[in-house]
Structure 1
Amino acid sequence: MIEDIQTAIPLGFLLSFMIGPVFFVLLETSATKGFRAGVSFDVGVIIADIVFLVIAYFSSFQLLENLSNQPGLFVFGGMILLVYGIVIFIKKASKKDNVKASTGTYLNLIIKGFLLNFINIGVLAFWLGLIVIVGPSLDNSPNRIIVFFSTVIIVYFATDLIKILLAKQLKKYLTQERIVLIKKGLGIVLIVCGIVLITKGFLPKEKFNIKEGIERISE
């Protein structure tokens, strides 16, 4: 068990720094709305990851293969990210963007974090591939798998808390003009991520092998 935990710790740390839409939205939310808002958003992200892990655990390698044969899922998720990015880019920032979030806003941020992570079908593919690869090394033991992935999620979340704290320090430097620039930059990032996801959906099957991609990451 100790060895499983030691192996999971660096993986959880690295996952926290995987560049994607969630990474940038988390930093933007923390910087403009504060620590609690950032944590709320991240809780939603973590819940989506846990849901994906549960789905992955009770699925099989066949689901991983079927996923790669459903390009429409990637196109759908990419379109949502693309539209969301465009809305953020063209939306004018208001003074409310730099005020303390309310209790209702925290719930909205949890939902936002969940949905933003959940629409990215590539995240499900990642967890599926990781379980397929890591499972045999854990003897496919349910207890060892739970310990391993629980450690990954905990380290992932703990690292995110550090990122949120660091991003919060930028809040006092945020003027209205800088908030506008940050949101436009975030919009561009989401647009690019959406285009990449849509492109994946149109790639030939032999050009998009999820299992091989996961194996390269784990090496």
Structure 2
Amino acid sequence: MVNDILSGIPWGIFLSFMIGPVFFILIETSITKGFRAALVFDLGVILGDIVFISIAYLGSYRLIQSLKDKPALFIFGGIVMLSYGIISFIKLKKVDNLPDDVLNNEILKKNYGSLLVKGFFLNIINIGVLGFWLAIIISMGPKLDMKTSRMMTFFITVILSYLLVDCIKIVLAKKLKTKMTPTNILKIKKGISIVLMIFGVVLITQGWFPKEKEMVKNALEKIDK
């Protein structure tokens, strides 16, 4: 059990520092809305990871199998993310010229339910994350004898390590909040919207040049063997 825990910690740390839209939005949420809001957003992301782990480990691999022949899934996820970034940017443009006190109220609103859904949504539309979890199962499963108890220990450790490191990132990012004016925060949120657009384009590109699809295909071939 101790070895399974020690095996999971590095994966959790690695996952926390993977650069993607979730990474940037977590930092932005911490700076603009505080620790609790960022933590709720992160819990939504983790919920998405749990869904992907369940699909990869407990499912019949139907969805994963479809990735081999349906790069449209990447394109769909990319279009959704790109659209989300564009809509967010346009909404921020509309509040650009508001007085600072009104602007502050607009951009610092805290809706924990929507933050949870936002974290889950942004994670679940990135099909590459499913490929990531499948790759972990392929590489670590045999070492854990594919025993449910050992796999549970491993994945719980990965998730908890990931959450702990994210909490440290949230606390460090929150220290910047005192230096943020409403105008600067608005600029950061616009920057995050642009980041979402970029990652959306990357996902769409993966649909046309599907490196992620090849990774999943190879993983499936290993399973078949």
Alignment TM-score, normalising by the size of structure 1: 0.88
Which residue of structure 2 aligns with residue 48 of structure 1? 48
Which residue of structure 1 aligns with residue 86 of structure 2? 86
Which residue of structure 1 aligns with residue 149 of structure 2? 143
Which residue of structure 2 aligns with residue 209 of structure 1? 214
Divergent runs of 4+, >4 A: 60-63, 211-214
Range that drifts further, 116-125 or 149-158: 116-125
The answer to whether structure 1 residue 96 and structure 2 residue 105 are counterparts is yes
TM superposition shift of 1:61: 6.1
Which residue of structure 2 aligns with residue 217 of structure 1? none
TM superposition shift of 1:213: 8.9
Which residue of structure 2 aligns with residue 108 of structure 1? 114
TM superposition shift of 1:202: 1.0
Which residue of structure 2 aligns with residue 77 of structure 1? 77
Maintained 8 Å contact 2:67/2:216: no
Q: What CA distance in whole angstroms lies between the structure 1 residues aligned with 2:138 and 2:67?
A: 14
Q: What CA distance in whole angstroms lies between the structure 2 residues aligned with 1:204 and 1:184?
A: 29
Which residue of structure 1 aligns with residue 28 of structure 2? 28
Cα pair distance change 1:72/1:212, threshold 3 Å:
closer
Q: Amino acid of the residue matched to residue 86 of structure 1?
A: I
TM superposition shift of 1:210: 1.6
Range that drifts further, 192-201 or 114-123: 114-123
TM superposition shift of 1:66: 2.9
The answer to whether structure 1 residue 165 and structure 2 residue 142 are counterparts is no
TM superposition shift of 1:63: 5.2
Q: What CA distance in whole angstroms lies between the structure 2 residues aligned with 1:156 and 1:213?
A: 27
Q: What CA distance in whole angstroms lies between the structure 2 residues aligned with 1:65 and 1:130?
A: 17
TM superposition shift of 1:68: 2.8
Q: What CA distance in whole angstroms lies between the structure 2 residues aligned with 1:180 and 1:21?
A: 17
Which residue of structure 2 aligns with residue 152 of structure 1? 158
Maintained 8 Å contact 1:53/1:127: yes
Q: What CA distance in whole angstroms lies between the structure 1 residues aligned with 2:108 and 2:78?
A: 30
Which residue of structure 2 aligns with residue 199 of structure 1? 205
Q: What CA distance in whole angstroms lies between the structure 1 residues aligned with 2:169 and 2:200?
A: 24
Q: What is the DSSP-based 3-state SS (H/G/I as helix, E as strand, rest coil) of the residue aligned with 2:145? A: coil
Q: Amino acid of the residue matched to residue 215 of structure 2?
A: I
Maintained 8 Å contact 2:55/2:61: no
Q: What is the DSSP-based 3-state SS (H/G/I as helix, E as strand, rest coil) of the residue aligned with 2:67? A: helix
Which residue of structure 1 aligns with residue 139 of structure 2? 133
Q: What percentage of residue pairs aligned between the two structures are identical? A: 52
Which residue of structure 1 aligns with residue 186 of structure 2? 180
1:22-57 CA distances to partner (integer Å, 9 max, x unpaired)? 111111111100111001101111111111111111
Q: What CA distance in whole angstroms lies between the structure 2 residues aligned with 1:61 and 1:99?
A: 41
Maintained 8 Å contact 1:40/1:109: yes
Maintained 8 Å contact 1:74/1:201: yes
Cα pair distance change 1:59/1:141, threshold 3 Å:
same
Q: Amino acid of the residue matched to residue 10 of structure 1?
A: P
The answer to whether structure 1 residue 123 and structure 2 residue 140 are counterparts is no
Maintained 8 Å contact 1:90/1:184: no
Alignment TM-score, normalising by the size of structure 2: 0.86
Q: Amino acid of the residue matched to residue 14 of structure 2?
A: L
Which residue of structure 2 aligns with residue 38 of structure 1? 38
